[in-house]
């Protein structure tokens, strides 16, 4: 049952991620452009140049803010990663548990500890 719920949660997160992929790319591009504009603003020595970079930065900032709902896609990507990690952890633990009881030395150690308790 737990695997089925993890699968449904992963499928939902994948659909949300794919639906927000375009805005996520535009958000990343906008953040990168703002970084470049800030660097050019700091390099500029003339007042007219600084004013031009500020105006361009405000235009790019308005485009970037309009894609802020892409953060839902980022959250879905993080959720998808955590679901994948949880899925793999469950597989590993069940295999280790099965191997632990098949090993005669582990059973001997457990039985010896039970005998020493009584």
pLDDT in single tens digits along all 118 residues of the chain:
788 888 898 899 889 989 999 999 999 999 999 999 999 999 999 999 999 999 999 999 999 998 888 889 899 999 999 988 888 776 555 555 555 556 666 677 777 788 888 6
Its pTM surpasses 0.85: no
Burial category of 75 from C-beta neighbours within 10 Å (exposed 0-12, middle 13-18, buried 19 and up): middle
pLDDT at 112: 77
pLDDT at 59: 95
Residue 70: enclosing H or E segment and its boundaries? none
pLDDT at 97: 54
For residue 110, give every residue at least 6 positions away whose Cβ sits within 8 Å of its Cβ, in sequence order, or none. none
pLDDT at 4: 87
Q: Give the C-alpha separation, 27 to 71, whole Å.
A: 9
pLDDT at 45: 92
Q: Is 20 helix (H, G, I), strand (E, B) or coil?
A: coil
Nearest to 43 by CA among 14, 12, 35, 73: 35
């Amino acid at each position: 049952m737990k695997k089925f719920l993890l699968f449904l949660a992963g499928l939902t997160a994948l659909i949300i991620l794919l639906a927000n992929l375009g805005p996520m790319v535009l958000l990343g591009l906008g953040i990168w452009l703002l970084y470049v504009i800030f660097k050019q603003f700091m390099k500029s020595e003339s007042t007219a140049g600084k004013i031009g970079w500020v105006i361009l930065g405000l235009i790019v900032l308005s485009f970037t803010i309009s894609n802020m709902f892409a953060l839902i896609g980022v959250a879905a990507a993080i959720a998808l990663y955590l679901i994948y990690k949880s899925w793999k952890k469950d597989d590993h633990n069940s295999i280790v548990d099965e191997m632990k009881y098949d090993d005669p030395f582990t059973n001997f150690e457990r039985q010896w500890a039970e005998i020493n308790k009584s």
